[in-house]
Amino acid sequence: MSVLLGFLDGRGRAYDLTFRTLKRRLRDESGAWDLEPGEALAGGVPLEAALFLESPRPRLLLRPTTGSAAASARRLVFVAGEGVPRTTEAPTAFNVAVHVPPTAVDHLFRGSGGREVLEVRREEIRRAVASRADLTLDLEATWVGGGNEPARFRLVLRPRTAAEEAVEPLGL
């Protein structure tokens, strides 16, 4: 499996961090989640998420971002909220270089209602650790920035009570 770090446009289509289409929908035309057979995705819980790539020098991939998380027994999906600040220097909440024209980024976020999205499969979660303020999920998966070799990630969700509610369907 591969963790999805990317974008969701206003019509529910998923894009990776390079703005390449994944030819996959996360939401249908009406805005409802596109579910797998037998899947039920619990409602969106408002929270903040941050994602780190674990390496000898941990790297922040998703800046602390407010949004909502929904989960099923199979996956967790975080979608950034509408109020995420965007500037010319930081057009997305992902802490990565953007190699597409600024007009394409502007169209995704302003023209088509795009948002940052993170999708994690249940089998990619190695452990969950709760602290007083947050819930941290340690992940291992391939991703667009790492080729075919699995990488380790740390997903921090806060506040803890909202995070625990969001991930409850995963049965961690």
Q: Residue 106 is encoded by which pair of tokens?
A: 């502007």
- Strand bridging mode 21-25 / 45-54: unpaired
Amino acid, single-letter form, for residue 155:
L
Half-sphere exposure of 124 (CA within 13 A, CB side): 23
Mean pLDDT lowest for which of 29-38, 113-122, 124-133?
A: 29-38
Q: For residue 117, is pLDDT > 60?
A: yes
Mean model confidence pLDDT for the chain: 92
Average pLDDT over residues 4-21: 90
pLDDT of residue 2: 80
Whether the Cβ atoms of residue 146 and residue 59 lie closer than 8 Å to each other: no
Whether the Cβ atoms of residue 16 and residue 116 lie closer than 8 Å to each other: no
96/18 Cα distance (integer angstroms): 9
pLDDT of residue 99: 87
Q: For residue 1, is pLDDT > 60?
A: no
Total residues belonging to the chain: 172
Q: Residue 108 is encoded by which pair of tokens?
A: 């995704």
Query: How do the domains of the chain map onto residue ranges?
Result: 4-170
Amino acid, single-letter form, for residue 28:
D
Cross-strand bridge partners of residue 71 = 76
Average pLDDT over residues 15-26: 88
Amino acid, single-letter form, for residue 25:
R
26/20 Cα distance (integer angstroms): 15
